[in-house]
Amino acid sequence: MVREWLRSEGLAVLAGSLWLYSQSGFSWWLFGGLLLLPDVAMLPYLISPRWGAISYNVAHSYLLPLGLAVAVPAWIPYLCIWTAHIGMDRMMGYGLKYPTAFRDTHLGTL
């Protein structure tokens, strides 16, 4: 039940991010082009699962984009894309990673 709740929260963040982005007037082409950019943070998995998990978790935590939204409001459209990506991942069951393996997440095993 908890896993479904967390995935539903991801859906809510995705929907909220999409709505906020729609209010920005920025291009949907930009949105589509940048949506998967946070996944570049998986590259350190080529070094080790530990470094991959650290990098992935930093890029897939809401703390950084929300903090930047407060610090630099002009970046909000880009940060909406970022939070939409995180929400989409969480909705699909891709959670924050444990340092053991990519498939080990706080939402369960992939």
What are the pLDDT digits (tens) for 1-14? 888 999 999 999 99
What are the pLDDT digits (tens) for 52-81? 999 999 999 999 999 999 999 999 999 999
CA atoms within 13 A on the CB side of 82: 21
Q: What are the residue ranges spanned by the domains of the chain?
A: 2-109
Q: Please give the mean pLDDT across all residues of the chain.
A: 95
Please report, for residues 1, 31, 88, 99, the alpha-carbon distance to residue 35 in angstroms, rounded to integers and kept in the order given. 28, 6, 10, 25
Report the distance separating Cα 52 and Cα 67, nearest Å.
22
